[in-house]
Amino acid sequence: MVSRRVFAGLTVLVLLLSPAPWARSFAQVAGGKQTTYAAHVALAQEYLHERRPDLAIPELEAAAALRPGDVQTQANLGVLLFFQGKAAEAIPHLRTALEAQPSLAKIRGILGIAELRTGDISDGRSDLETVFSVLDDRKFQVQVGLEMVSSYTATGDLDRAAAVLAKLKQIAPADPHVLYAAYQTYTDLAGEARLTLALAAPNSAQTHQMLAHEELKEGNTNAAIAEYRKAIALDPHLPSVHVELAELLATSADPAMKAESVAEYKLALADNPQDAKALCGLAQVAVRKGDLQQAFDDYRAARAAEPSDPDASLGMANVLIQRGEQAKALPLLEEAAQLEPTNPTVHYRLAMLYRRNGHEDQAKQQVELFKHYKEMKDKLRVVFQNLLVKPQEIRSDDEPEKGK
């Protein structure tokens, strides 16, 4: 649906398309066909300023009857009719304006939406696709994109919807309308992919890995572990499966399961010696055992394998801090802050090191960042716990006292 706030902005478009307003007295005293046209336009503008589009429309209809080829009159009339919910009546006027002046991108955008409203899917999509990338009004551009997404999803064209959403997220990354549309579309895509995979290969390793993910979403840890084991039995070299199982086993209170996580990390490395997640997992095991040298070596290998992995940089920094090598840890923490600016632990540790080095202003700034992101993630944790979902981004990375 096109929002009122967007249409309110487009009212300005109507006024800008029109010639300068004439006084009502001019309409009353002047005669002749030319003057009558001007009088109707002047009255229409006055009614628009008074927020009476219902009175402006008849005046513009009269003006259009006198000058059917006038771009401004046809465009204004089409827009106002559309504002009034009369999409079918608006379309001929919008098309007439565009035939004379095809470069009117906003008018074409409104035409495209009107066409979709009246069931003309082909022309509607074509017009919206034509103007989407060239509109200079960000709010209207977002609305046009959302109309396209809605049209595509209605007919199951989810890939096309996702492509538009990728652009919308660049244009308006924090717009809740865009984010919700993305959530809906990606959920539909995921559902479609799940169904297709289950139908095409119901007993495959990939299907069991997918089922493990679904069990995790529901908070069913034991069921997820069982699905991972089935996947591994079918394909021991399935990408990422050993790391995913290892990370799950590592969270268990059962010592036997924790020990098994080490074996899974090693199996992942046997398949891919450059697996940064597996290296970081083994480094965490080494930290818990007190083997700081092994932990440092594993974190360093992970950082070399994946330089953009903030966990490796943070892990190396933590080990260096525990070894009393704060000067070497500082640049690694600063790097981690660049790679993952929303990680509270990084800011906490930076604050400690800055304060220790006498940089009080920088320390205060990092404390504020720590508080901000910790509060934000605490709120997210409550939301996702209610949904029985635990994304990697909000796991316990904001408890620096544990020395992760």
Tokens of 378: 């605490």
Whether residue 21 is found in the same domain as residue 107: yes
| Single residue among 153, 182, 200 that ends a domain in this structure | 200
Using only the alpha carbons of the chain, give its radius of gyration: 31
Within-domain flag for 97: yes
Whole-angstrom distance, CA of residue 120 vs CA of residue 231: 47
Residues 2-49: pLDDT tens digits?
Answer: 444 444 444 434 444 444 343 333 344 344 445 699 999 999 999 989
Whole-angstrom distance, CA of residue 303 vs CA of residue 221: 30
Domain encompassing residue 104:
1-120
H runs (alpha helix) in 201-325: 205-217, 221-234, 241-250, 255-271, 276-289, 292-305, 310-322
C-alpha distances (whole Å) from 77 to each of 14, 89, 223, 357 are: 9, 10, 62, 69
Prediction pTM value = 0.73
Residue type, 208: H
Residues 154-185: pLDDT tens digits?
Answer: 999 999 999 999 999 999 999 999 999 999 99
Picking from 258, 211, 247, 255, the residue whose alpha carbon sits closest to that of residue 230 is 211
- Overall number of domains in the chain: 2
Whether residue 38 is found in the same domain as residue 67: yes
Residues 342-396: pLDDT tens digits?
Answer: 999 999 999 999 999 999 999 999 999 999 999 988 887 777 666 555 554 444 4
Whether residue 61 is found in the same domain as residue 88: yes
- What does the buried/exposed string (b/e) look like for 17-26 if buried means 16 or more CB atoms within 10 Å of the residue's CB? bbeebbeeee
Whether residue 26 is found in the same domain as residue 136: no
Share of the chain above pLDDT 70, in %: 86
CATH number at residue 33: 1.25.40.10
